[in-house]
Amino acid sequence: DSGVTQTPKHLITATGQRVTLRCSPRSGDLSVYWYQQSLDQGLQFLIHYYNGEERAKGNILERFSAQQFPDLHSELNLSSLELGDSALYFCASSVAPDSYYTDTQYFGPGTRLTVL
Amino acid sequence: AQKVTQAQTEISVVEKEDVTLDCVYETRDTTYYLFWYKQPPSGELVFLIRRNSFDEQNEISGRYSWNFQKSTSSFNFTITASQVVDSAVYFCALSNTGGFKTIFGAGTRLFVKA
């Protein structure tokens, strides 16, 4: 158990809908990262938050947004869903903001999103 | 542009064999970071290692070792005396920020047979 929790584990929804994925980092970790893993695109970095502030953005669509709350949990909001958004969404956490060399990253179990 | 290539799509070995997973990267940055991750059949992702471009020293952790060669833009991963539990997809990744804003390779699926 990495200590990172993600809910829900599975989500099935229809095109055009909006969903929210939730992530709770390990106790003491201030950084939260979101990644998408799909058959078409492989693994992709989406976004990074540190202590409530956005630190880095990757290949995140405009229909997607995220935030990190004062209690450090994070939510990834996906709207106007399309079939191609079906994927496994991982959250990860680490202690430091970015370039702390010995920092380790811990992953949650992922949320599998299926868009029908 | 940055790119990570894992040319080996699948590798199959018999337990106790040594196996090397190749990773070749492209970047114009002088400072960059390289990573390896493991994704076992259960699906979770496990961070294995991060290396800084200024540190070309090879690293060994138990049965795992990593060979970083700037001259060939490679960061290869060797598992010594492989075990069935090593069966997984292994991803190599690259970042120019030090953090975990990474570009991933397509992954290499390793099968270790008993």
B18-55: pLDDT as tens digits: 999 999 999 998 889 999 999 999 999 999 988 888 88
- Which band of pLDDT confidence, cut at 50, 70 and 90, is reported for residue B101? confident
Position B1 scores a pLDDT of 82
- Mutation site, A53, A105, A107, A113, interface B, largest B CB count within 10 A: A105
A44 chain-B contacts, CB cut-off 8 A: 104
Position A71 scores a pLDDT of 95
Residue B62 confidence (pLDDT) above 90? yes
B91 chain-A contacts, CB cut-off 8 A: 43
Contact B100/A105 with Cβ under 8 angstroms?
Answer: yes
Position A101 scores a pLDDT of 58
Residues of A with CB under 8 A from a CB of B: 2, 31, 33, 35, 42-45, 48, 55-56, 58, 88, 90, 92, 94, 97-101, 103-110
Question: Are B100 and A106 a contacting pair at CB < 8 A?
Answer: no
Residues 8-67 of B with CB under 8 A from A: 43-47, 50, 52
Residue B59 confidence (pLDDT) above 60? yes
The nearest CA of chain A is from the CA of B53 a distance in Å of 12
Residue A98 confidence (pLDDT) above 80? no
- Which band of pLDDT confidence, cut at 50, 70 and 90, is reported for residue B98? low
In the predicted model, what is the mean pLDDT of residues A21-31? 95
- Which band of pLDDT confidence, cut at 50, 70 and 90, is reported for residue A99? low
Position A100 scores a pLDDT of 56
Contact A13/A114 with Cβ under 8 angstroms?
Answer: yes
In the predicted model, what is the mean pLDDT of residues A80-101? 87
Strands (E), chain A: 5-7, 10-13, 19-24, 31-38, 42-50, 53-57, 64-68, 74-78, 87-94, 106-107, 111-115
Torsion of CA B65, B69, B73, B74, to 10 degrees: -20
B47: closest chain A residue by CA? A105
Tens digits of per-residue pLDDT, A31-89?
Answer: 999 999 999 999 999 999 999 999 889 989 999 999 999 999 999 999 999 999 999 99
Mean pLDDT score across all residues of chain B: 93
What are the φ/ψ torsions at residue A84 (nearest 5 degrees)? -70, -10
Residues 80-99 of B with CB under 8 A from A: 91, 93, 97-99
Between CA B4 and CA B95 the distance in angstroms is: 10
